[in-house]
Structures are given as C-alpha cells and as structure tokens.
Chains A and B, each alone.
Chain A
Amino acid sequence: MLMALTSSILPHSQTLCGRQLRRIILDQSKRAYVGHIGSSLSIADIIAVLYGGVMKIAAPEDPERDRFVLSKGHAALALYAAFHLKGWLDEGQIDTYCGSETMLGVHPEHCLRGVDFSTGSLGMGLGYAAGAALAARMQTSPRRAFALLSDAECNEGAVWEAAMFAAHHRLANLTAVIDCNGQQALGHTKDVMNLNHLAERWEKFGWDVHLVDGHNEAALQATFDGLNYRTGRPHMIVANTVCGKGVSFMEGQVKWHYWPMNDLEYAQAVGEVEGADP
C-alpha cells in the first residue's frame, strides 16, 4: 500500500512544496525501514524551493543547467522525493529506495538521473560547487552552482578551504545553504563543536550572508530571488531549521538522525504531515 501511495503522488509537478516531500520521505523511510529521517525532513522545504523554481534545469542532461551538490548526502531521500515529483525518475523507481539493484541508496550517486555529484563524505561538496562555479566563469556561462551543507559539516576543515577560495575569487554564481538544525550524529552542535555566531563567521570569511527561516518557503524563495548571481561575493544562506520538522516526536530529537519508524510512529507522523498547513 505504501508503494502505491508514494508512486501516485503528483509526478511531473512544476512547483514543489515541503509537505509533499515530507510524505514521500515518511513513506519511503518506513517501507525501506531506514533512518536519516530527521535530516531529510529538515531540508524538505529548502529542496522544495530550490527544485521548485530557483534552479534553472531544463533537463538533468542539459549541460547549461545550474548545478547542485547535496553536500549533506545522508539526506538524499529529500532529493529523491523532489526528483520523483519532477518526473525525473522512472515509474516506480522511488520505491526502490534502499532496496537491491537500486540507484537510490542512502547517499546520492551520480549514476542516478538528476544527481550532479555523488556525496556522502561530509566536507567535500562546497569545493565541488565552487569548481562548478569557477568553470562556469571560465566558460563565460551564466550557469550557477548551489550546495546544501549541514551545520555540523562545518566541523570539516575542507569546508573552510572552499569558503576562502570562493570569497577570494568572488564567485557570485555560487550559493551555499546551511541546514542549521543544531544537531549532529551524536548530540547537539552546541555540545559537540559549538557553531555559535555561524553567520558572522561566514561573513568574516567574505560571504554575502542571509539568515532565513529554513521552513518558510516564501522567505526562502524571496531570499534566493534577491541574490545578485552576477557580481560580488558568494552567497551563504544560513537556514534555521528543525531536525525532523513536521513530526512532533522527531523534532529536535537526536535519535531521529539514525532511527527508523515502527508502524505506530509512521501512522502518527503521516497524520501530522498530512494535517499540516500546506
């Protein structure tokens, strides 16, 4: 029943919304009995806005498309949900998530239509995106590059190598989003590696920084729309989010970084997501 539900949700949508993505995330996590649910729910609205119109992607094969790197690859299910809604996956393909002989694993692989870069090891994606932005400049193309990072990912030194590079070269066609949910694998960021003043840190590194509610799709859209992608500093959107957003018993709970749902939890989660305001 779950498979039929997910497969029938609005393929080929032109606009996406976080609630649609959340339902797919819940269905597929339950069917596959895997975790990383909280992380995927955390970025659902950001992904919905990016793939719902911010990024210019005529087709995943278009060489002049904007590039996207899900640097926090463990939340790939949110990405697959967007691909499903956009009609980029084969029929029923979403239901192979975490099965066998599937291209839809926990982390995104570039063999899957729509995935520009395989990720899963934190700290690499911002550099990929900076390279994509640099290449666009060298090739005098209007292409842009977007990267979505986790806040804890900023523990990785390589993130700051890329941060310095992009600022020095004023890669205005590069936009990074940090999914700032305050959680990491083994605890809260404030306890593991304090990231206080994160926005200021990026600003000091030379980025054009914007603070936004990462679950307010209109605010996200307005922020992306207001950026100057042609000249100036690279852009950093520090998106305040809640890990497990939309499911009350998951919100802010560290265990939902890894935990799968049982039947009762799934039923409650679906009820809450379906009952939420669109």
Chain B
Amino acid sequence: MRKAFVQSLVEAARKDSRITLLTADLGYAALEPFIEEFPDRFVNVGVAEQNMVALATGMAEAGLVPFCYSIVNFSVLRPYEFIRNGPIVHQLPVRIVGMGGGLDYSTNGVSHYGIEDVGVLRVQPQIAIYTPGDAAQTRNLVAHTASLPGPAYYRLGKDDLLEVPGLEGRFTVGRPELVREGQHVLILAMGGIAAEAVYAAELLAAKGIAAGVAVVSTLQPADHTFLANLMRAYPLVVSVEAHYRVGGIGSLAAEVIAERGLPVRLVRCGLSEIPDGVTGTLPFMYARHGIGRNQLAATAERAVRALESAK
C-alpha cells in the first residue's frame, strides 16, 4: 500500500496546499514522488519521532496539514504522549502514518511488529483511525480523508501487490465493506488481513459453510449502527486482526454486540501474547499466531459446528 499511499498523497497535495510530509528518516524508494514534486513541503526530521510529532503540532497550529511517516511502532508508540498532548489535545490535523501494521515486518522481529497501535490509539476518542485493506482502497481512503479536520492515524501494509478480492477500492468513512455474502458466519477483518479472511471463506465454502467477509478500514469514528446491523444478520462473528485480540476490531465488535444486546456469538482471532522471537515469512507468522487462512477457516468451522450442536 506504500506506493499507493504516496501517490494518493501527491494527488491530495496538488489540491490542498496545506499538506506537508515529514519522515523520521524512513521511506526509501517510496516517498520520492512527493519529494520530487513538493521539495519545499517535505522535511526529513532525522531519527527523532517524538520531535516529528511536536513539529507537526506547531505546524498544524499555523494552518498546515503535516503527515508524519515512519514504521508503525516508531510513529505511534515512541511519540505516544506527543500524539496525545499535541494533535489530540489541540484537535489539530496532524496525520500519523504507520508503515507495516501487524506482522508485515515478519523477519525483522518483534521491535518492528505493530500489534498494539490501534488499541493504544483507539482509547483516545478524538483521533480517526484508518486501516485500509489494500492499495486500491488506500487510494480512495486517502482521497476522502487527507483534508478532514482533526488528527488521524493511517495504518498501512507493506505489500504493494496485496489485493483483497471483491473490495475493488470501495471505502466509506466509518463503515465496513462487505466483500463476500454469507449465512453461517461473518468474518470481520481489520485491514490487509482481510485477504486471508476471503481465502478462509473459500476453504469454508468447500465444507458447506457460507462465510461472509467484511473489511474494516475505519476503527474510529465507527458507525456502530451500521456495524450492528451487519453483524445481527449472522449467528456468529469471527473477528481477525494482525494485532492483539484486545483493542482492535475484536474489541470494537464485542462492545457493539454487548451494548446493543445482539444475539450473536463472537470469536476473536489475533495475537494473544508478545511474539517469542521466532520469526519467519508473513504466512509463517500468520499461521503461528492463528490468523492465516487455514487457521481462520479451522477456527470458524469449529465455532459454526459448536453453535449447530448447541441448538
């Protein structure tokens, strides 16, 4: 999604002269289109993410819309208090851009896994959180949100070629996109892991289970009524996220189900503990943490069978 993001940022910057781009010395072979077209609106602040957000706060107060680019953990966790006391407290249009959400940095190890970013930001009610599913949706999402008021977080995937079947770039702020209809179970997927969810649904179909799949690309502000109506059409929801099971889409779904009193069972898939240091390819990491297509299909099938046998 990186190239799609930068290209759409360039397009947004052509229309909105307030848009500027800061990086904490990352984005090689990615940010160049923006740098070349807007050299006076780009600054590499060095390896200093806290200062990047502080700078952006001062810039946004003066009327600019700065995008702060780094790898997820460095753009969210390191400067977390700066994000809170700066853009959120002042309600300024600073954009935190996190590259490589989830386990995308696979063999780079735990320092590079962005597995709690959405959770720590979602407890702050006044920052928008976007988790696009693939490149095409990223383009549409950036076009719709780049110039909105208030702070925002963009959680991007590394893979430029990833495509979520059926998504076709659709995006509406606050609402999940249904990419596959089903009957027995709805898989709610946050961001790029939705592709695994679609492949899991295909595996389930071969076993006679009709699984719907919805891509969640806005965690905040979320249209709770829309989400509730989507979930109430199914007896079972399986949430999946390349993130801890707490704080992201699993938690959002649980809150909506509980607060609306929906007659829906929920099974949350995601990381349940800090990765132990054993690394591998992205499919290996997904499988190891129970969120690859095969594991998702198996989890969903067990839950469907358990629900059927309980009737």
| Contacts from A to B (Cβ < 8 Å) | 63, 67, 110, 116-121, 124, 126-136, 138-139, 143, 145, 157-158, 161-162, 164-165, 168-169
Q: Return chain B residues, CB-CB under 8 Å to A124.
A: 54, 81-82, 85-86
B90 in contact with A117 (CB, 8 Å)? yes
Q: Is the CB of A164 within 8 A of B46?
A: yes
Q: Is the CB of A110 within 8 A of B58?
A: no
Inter-subunit contact B89/A138 (CB<8 Å): no
Contact in complex: A131, B46 (CB < 8 Å): no
Kindly report which residue of chain B lies nearest to residue A158, judged by CB atoms.
B50
User: Are A135 and B89 CB-contacts (below 8 A) given A127-B55, A158-B54?
Assistant: no
- Contact: A145 with B86, CB < 8 Å? no
A139, closest chain B residue (CB): B62
In the complex, what's the smallest C-beta–C-beta distance from B82 to chain A, in angstroms?
6
Contact check, B59 vs A127: say whether CB atoms are below 8 A apart: no
Chain B residues contacting A133 (CB-CB under 8 Å) are: 58
Docked-complex contact B62 and A135, CB < 8 angstroms: yes
User: Which of B20, B45, B64 counts the most chain A CB atoms within 10 A?
Assistant: B45
B54 to chain A: which residues have CB within 8 Å? 124, 126-128, 130-131, 158, 162
B308 within 8 A of A: no
Across the interface, B61 reaches (CB within 8 A) one of A116, A121, A157, A161, namely A116
Is the beta-carbon distance between B61 and A130 smaller than 8 angstroms? no
**What is the 8 Å Cβ interface bit string for chain B, positions 2-36, against chain A (1 contact, 0 not)?**
00000000000000000010000000000000000
Given contacts A63-B63, A135-B64, A139-B63, contact A118 B58 (CB under 8 A): no
Q: Which of A116, A117, A128, A165 contacts B45 (CB 8 A)?
A: A165
CB-CB < 8 A to B48: which residues of A? 161, 164-165
Kindly state the separation between the CA atoms of A158 and B54 in the bound complex, as whole angstroms.
9
Of the A-B pairs whose beta carbons lie under 8 Å apart in the complex, a sample of 12, sorted by A's number, is A67-B61, A118-B85, A121-B81, A128-B57, A128-B58, A128-B86, A130-B58, A131-B54, A132-B61, A135-B62, A138-B40, A164-B48
Q: Which residue of B lies closest to A64 (CB)?
A: B62
Most buried by B among A127, A130, A134, A168: A127
Is B43 in the interface zone, CB < 8 Å from A?
A: yes
Q: Is B300 an interface position by the 8 A CB rule?
A: no
In the complex, A117 Cα to B85 Cα: how many Å? 9
Besides A117-B61, A165-B45, 19 new A-B residue pairs in contact (Cβ under 8 A), listed by A number: A67-B58, A67-B62, A110-B89, A117-B57, A118-B85, A121-B85, A124-B85, A126-B54, A127-B54, A127-B82, A128-B57, A131-B57, A131-B62, A132-B58, A135-B61, A139-B63, A158-B50, A161-B46, A165-B46
